[in-house]
Structure 1
Amino acid sequence: MRGPLRRAGMLTTSVVAISLLAACASRNAPLEPLQKARAAVNTAMNDAKVVQLAPLELKSATDTLAQADTAWTKEADATEATHLSNLAVRRAQIAQNVAQTRQLDADIKQAGVNAERQRLQGDAARAQQQADQARAAAAASATAADRARQQTQAAQAQVKDLQARLNELQAQQTERGLLVTLGDVLFEFGKAELTSQAAPRLDKLAQFLTEFPNRKLLIEGYTDSVGTAAANQTLSERRAASVQSALASRGVAADRMTVRGYGKDFPVADNASPEGRAMNRRVEIVIADENGNLRSRR
């Protein structure tokens, strides 16, 4: 009997040894979901904006990854490790989208141009909605998270670009449209010819109009109350026509521009003082909004 018992004991010992070796091999073998989770969390950790703007969401992702590592390397629980790995990927994606959304909010707060603020806020709301939708989709798809990030970056670029251009134009938002005013100092004294000082502003205005080719504009000339009504009317029309000609020479299509002269009508200041008269001698350029709305005076 001693022989069979000895063989049985040896067999039991072999089975235990094989089981231990299998467990060790399982823990040492790579787990694909865990590898993907490590890559996703590392990507989020290497993004400075995520680290700065979404620290709590990023910590949630790193903590979940650590739990997945423990489940696999110490407990060899593939099911739990896979579940935690997938959860870590989703939380890393959420951290990235939260950072993008918060960055967009900060950019909008810096927009200092009253002229287009309402439109910019509308764009931001749509971008926020897209970011929210992308963040929800990121729970199931990394591809959706990438698309949301690209959309957010594009929206940020549009906001910054438009803000900069409006600042350069010194534009004001009015009920009639976007208003750019050219003062009397940009014209020869008592004449319709533009001075060389007008060139930089006209260059910037023409560039803006070229980039928004669907926007039409009104070019309106005004004078002070000095002189006869007929002379003022003629001068206001000629100055408006000079601006039209200058813009046309810079590539703005003639059929986009309507020229009018109003003489001494519609003053913006009191003609009793030299300063007030100087403010009234002007050319106003009214640009249609993004919907094409453009209101003339009469």
Structure 2
Amino acid sequence: MSKISMTPGALLMLAMLTACSTAPRSTSLLENTRQQYQMAQNNPRIAQLAPLEMRQADDAMVLANSAAIKNESSEEIDKLAYLASKKIDIANEAAKQKNAENTIANAGRERDEMRLNQRTQEVSQEKNRADQAAYSAQVAQANTLNAQQKVTALSAELADIKAKNTDRGIVITLGDLLFGTNDARLNPDGMHELQKLAAVLQAHQQQTLSIEGHTDSTGGAAYNLRLSERRANAVSSALQLMGVQKTRMTMHGYGEEFPLMDNHTAENRQMNRRVEIILSDDAGHIVNR
């Protein structure tokens, strides 16, 4: 039976992956670099003609995978993955150049080597420009994908309280039934819903909140505005008691200004009586009304 040989770096990486009890972080750039590294390992010419460069690529790959296993930041992982990719490129180029040198040594060495060096420099310059453009595109794509994945994951965690993804961000709506009639006090059901939200917010400290109170058009506009403000403040106070910092929250009362439905029926008016909690993106940005 044939035996499968592995480089010291690959063995170390395997040991680290085996020892890791949690799923390692990854990025698109790291995954692409791993594929590039595997292709280099499968090419016997690289190991034969560029052993030193391949060992350096192996060491760089271990560092990138170690950062992923340790769940370091995506920026740090991408930086190390990019360095590993460049080391692999160097090993590839070194193997190609060595192979070319071996070939031209048998016929017109000096003349052909001069031409090869000139072409290698041109290719290197072109490749550097292409690599820089590709790296910028990969990082931008990875950042976009990472942001989308975070929003999807956060929405899943908030599924129990019927969070929705909107143009303004993730929105949680507390309906009128969670408050006392014409009152800003949260009833037990309302407090239970907020406890679910507070638990998620403790795990996502980067999110800020805009808490916005709304009413129907029944009664005076001034009364409705005050009621919407009191309900928004009541939600903020309850979240603070549950461990959410006040500095993460802003409160607004809009009264009857932004109804979801017309106020012609009791059912529609009940839908308009609500408090909306809008979660920011990771940078703390919330789209204003």
TM-score band, normalised by shorter chain: 0.5 to 0.7
Equivalent residues of 1:131, 1:148 under 8 A apart = no
Alignment: residue pair count: 187
Aligned to 1:285: 277
Say what the alpha-carbon RMSD is for the aligned residues: 3.7
Identify the match of residue 206 of structure 2 among 203, 207, 214. Answer: 214
Alignment map for 1:242-253 (pairs within 5 Å): 242-253=234-245
In the alignment, the residues of structure 1 paired with residue 251 and residue 263 of structure 2 have an alpha-carbon distance, to the nearest angstrom, of 24
Cα deviation for residue 164 of structure 1 reads 3.4
> Any conservation in 1 of the 2:228–2:255 contact (CA below 8 Å)?
yes
Residues 155, 165 of structure 2: 8 Å contact kept = no
TM-score (normalizing by structure 2) = 0.54
Structure 2 residue matching 1:219: 3-state secondary structure: strand
Give ranges in structure 1 of 5+ residues lacking alignment: 1-65, 70-83, 98-103, 105-123
Q: Which residue of 1 aligns with 2:130?
A: none
Task: Indicate whether 1:133 and 2:45 are aligned.
Answer: no
Identify the residue that residue 157 of structure 2 maps to in structure 1: 165
Q: What secondary structure sits across from 1:242 in the alignment?
A: helix
TM-superposed CA distance for 1:145, in Å, is 6.8
**Distance of 2:37 and 2:195 partners within structure 1:** 45
Q: Indicate yes or no: 2:165 matched with 1:265.
A: no
**Conservation of the 8 A alpha-carbon contact between 1:131 and 1:152:** no
Matches within 5 A, 1:42-81: 66=1, 68=2
CA distance in 2, matches of 1:194, 1:163: 24
What amino acid does structure 2 have at the position aligned with 1:206? A
Q: Is the 8 A contact 1:179 1:284 kept in 2?
A: yes
Aligned counterpart, 2:68: 151
Q: Does the aligned pair in 2 maintain the 1:222–1:281 contact within 8 Å?
A: yes
- Deviation sequence 1:250-275 (CA, Å, 0-9, x none): 11111221111111111011211111
TM-score (norm 1): 0.53
CA 1:265–1:161 in 2, change beyond 3 Å: closer, same or farther? closer
Summarize the Cα distance change of 1:215–1:196 in structure 2 as closer, same or farther, 3 Å threshold: same
Q: Which residue of 2 aligns with 1:196?
A: 188
Amino acid at match of 2:27: A
CA distance in 1, matches of 2:152, 2:172: 20
Deviation at 1:207, TM superposition (A): 1.8
TM-superposed CA distance for 1:171, in Å, is 1.7
- CA change 1:150–1:176 in 2 (3 A) is same
Structure 1 residues 164 and 146, CA gap change in structure 2 (3 angstroms): farther
| Overall identity of the aligned pairs, in % | 36
- Following superposition, the deviation at residue 213 of structure 1 comes to 2.0
CA contact (8 A) 2:155 2:164 kept: no
Q: Which residue of 2 aligns with 1:183?
A: 175
What amino acid sits opposite 1:164 in the alignment? Answer: A
Whole-Å Cα distance in 2 between the matches of residues 167 and 153 of structure 1?
A: 29
CA distance in 2, matches of 1:171, 1:258: 19
Q: Kindly state the Cα deviation for residue 199 of structure 1 after the two structures are TM-superposed.
A: 2.1
Structure 2 unaligned segments of length 5 or more: list them.
18-22, 42-53, 75-145
Partner Cα distance (2:69, 2:269) in 1: 48
1:240 to 232, 254, 262: 232
Inter-partner Cα distance in structure 1 for 2:284 and 2:171: 14
Change beyond 3 A, Cα 1:230–1:159: closer
Larger Rg: 1
Any conservation in 1 of the 2:161–2:172 contact (CA below 8 Å)?
Answer: yes
Q: CA deviation at 1:144?
A: 3.6
Partner of 1:5: none
Give distance in 2, aligned partners of 1:233 and 1:163.
Answer: 30
Confirm or deny: 8 A CA contact 1:137 1:145 kept in the other structure: no
Provide the C-alpha distance between the structure 1 equivalents of 2:213 and 2:154, rounded to a whole number of angstroms: 27
